Amino acid sequence: MGRYIRNPYVGKEAASSEEVTEKWLEQAVKVIADQIINREFDDEEKHDGSSSRQARFLCGDLGVYVTQMSNPELRQSLVEKIEKISVTLAKDDYPSDEMLVGRAGFLSGVLWISFYDLLSDTEERAVRESADWLMSTQDDEGNFASSVKWIGRERGDDQLVHWCHGAPGVILLCLTMWKRYGEQKYFRAALRCGELIWNKGVLKKGPGICHGVGGNGK
């Protein structure tokens, strides 16, 4: 199922721009969210990768589930669906996936936790140890690899400095760890990220958050 809303601008920009109102957007988003929430979960979808798409926060069903958790009527059913997704992805025969480092639903996004009170001491220690490992992979320029397979490998001019891949996303994790634990190593890592973003973060891919200058400015 598509993850987009039809763009009414194409081919008739001036006239169609009048159609894009807050009410129109709310209706379009509600239609898509309802379709995602109400469709049944099928663990056999793993064979074509569909259940992986369901588990993605940014481009999959999981992001919709989380944003709808504030609705008490939906909360229990959404929790059950998330649990089913987790069970499917944890199976030994589930296809492996690339371990991405960036912010947008990847490793640094997973480790960026606001509600520490929900974690046990053991769970919080595991999160901190994982974050410490990630910080240790910061390169000489202050950047982070886009995925684990690129750690320690030179990419030359193909370096990624995006909110979704690289320092612009990981800097949020660095600052969160510094605020939580007060250790200067996290703040120093954030400063190095900031210097890199300042020097190389004015991207040419438009104003968007994920791959554009908007994310780096954020």
Residue 47 annotated as binding site: no
What's the whole-number average pLDDT of the chain?
Answer: 74
pLDDT in tens, 136-167: 999 999 998 887 777 877 766 667 888 888 88
202 or 217, which is more confident: 202
Tell me the sheet residues that pair with 100: 147
124 or 98, which is more confident: 124
Residue 193 annotated as binding site: no
Residue 210 annotated as binding site: yes
The CA distance from 46 to 49, in Å, is 5
pLDDT at 42: 57
Say whether pLDDT at 97 is over 60. Answer: no
- Give residue 3's pLDDT band: very low, low, confident or very high (50, 70, 90): very low
Comparing 3-17, 61-75, 200-214, the range with the smallest average pLDDT is: 3-17
Q: If you average pLDDT over each of 7-16, 106-115, 171-180, which comes out highest?
A: 171-180
55 or 66, which is more confident: 66
Domain extents in the chain:
23-37+50-93, 96-217
Q: How far is CA 20 from the centre of its chain?
A: 27
The mean pLDDT value for 108-127 works out to 77
Question: Which residues 6+ apart lie within 8 Å of 170 measured at CB?
Answer: 101, 102, 103, 108, 134, 138, 144, 193
pLDDT at 53: 61
Name the one residue in this structure whose structure tokens are 């069970």. 87
Per-position DSSP letters for 66-130, written without gaps between them:
HHTTT-HHHHHHHHHHHHHHHHHHHSTTSPP---B-SSSSSHHHHH--S-GGGS-HHHHHHHHHH
Contact 197, 144 (CB under 8 A): no
Say whether pLDDT at 179 is over 80. Answer: yes
pLDDT at 1: 39
pLDDT at 203: 76
The number of C-alpha atoms within 13 Å of 154 and in the hemisphere containing its C-beta is: 3
Say whether pLDDT at 189 is over 90. Answer: yes
pLDDT in tens, 4-32: 445 555 555 556 666 667 776 677 777 76
